[in-house]
Amino acid sequence: MSGGWFITGTDTGVGKTRVACLLLEALAREGKRAIGMKPVASGCRETAAGLRSEDAERLQAASGVAVDYAEVNPYAFAPGTAPHLAAHESGKEIRNEKILESFQRLRQKAPWMVVEGIGGWMVPLAEHLTMADVARAMRLPVILVVGLRLGCLNHALLTATAIQHDGVPLAGWVANQIDPAMTHVDENIAALNERIPAPLLASFHYWSSGDYGALAPVFPRETIMHLTSLK
């Protein structure tokens, strides 16, 4: 079998890259070759090899196949702002055709793809292009990362509704706690689980990059088996 998923989130900074990398690592443990992709990234740093996104580099490193950075991240911008503004400031225009060309080349190198969007579902990329348009064109089911913090219920339900409205399959959602001080975490997860018309794939409590060993999160094996069995 082959396929993949488009990873979107309730906002920027909610853990899309974290979840995408955990998914790639879990696929690798099951012996499934997969490639991570970040079509558009802003706030990139200058390097000798050109602009680089830390998120895209993490996806590239977690991929089970060696691929060129330019394919993983076809649009990299230095300004750390909304992608359409970063593109305008950089004198470029984001084109879906270029993104899809890179996507198709990567698909030929591995049976599974994990594509991470930028920001949330409806983030503008160009005058007549949003992140949702890219996801629709890729024909991948969506995994929604919900950043658990105050206000996440509204953000999550609005995003899930928008995904459904756009006619894209919602494969499931991930609860990712990003506020260590958030109260009633389990109750919020339960409320979302009752209202989002897709299964809860994983739940990650707050975890900082300084925590190692047994504290590190892992994508549940049963979730991977479920996702990869879907047609």
**225 — phi, psi (to 5°)?**
-65, -40
**Per-residue tokens: 124:** 């503008």
Beta carbons of 170 and 197 less than 8 angstroms apart: yes
Of the candidates 16, 32, 38, 98, the residue annotated as catalytic is 38
| Catalytic-residue membership of 38 | yes
Rg of the chain over Cα atoms, rounded to whole angstroms, equals 17
Q: Which residues contact 86 (CB under 8 A, 6 or more apart)?
A: 42, 43, 77, 78, 79, 80
- Alpha-carbon dihedral 101, 124, 76, 168, rounded to 10 degrees: -40
| Helix 185-195 / helix 152-165 crossing angle, nearest 10 deg | 20
Active-site residues, by number, are 38
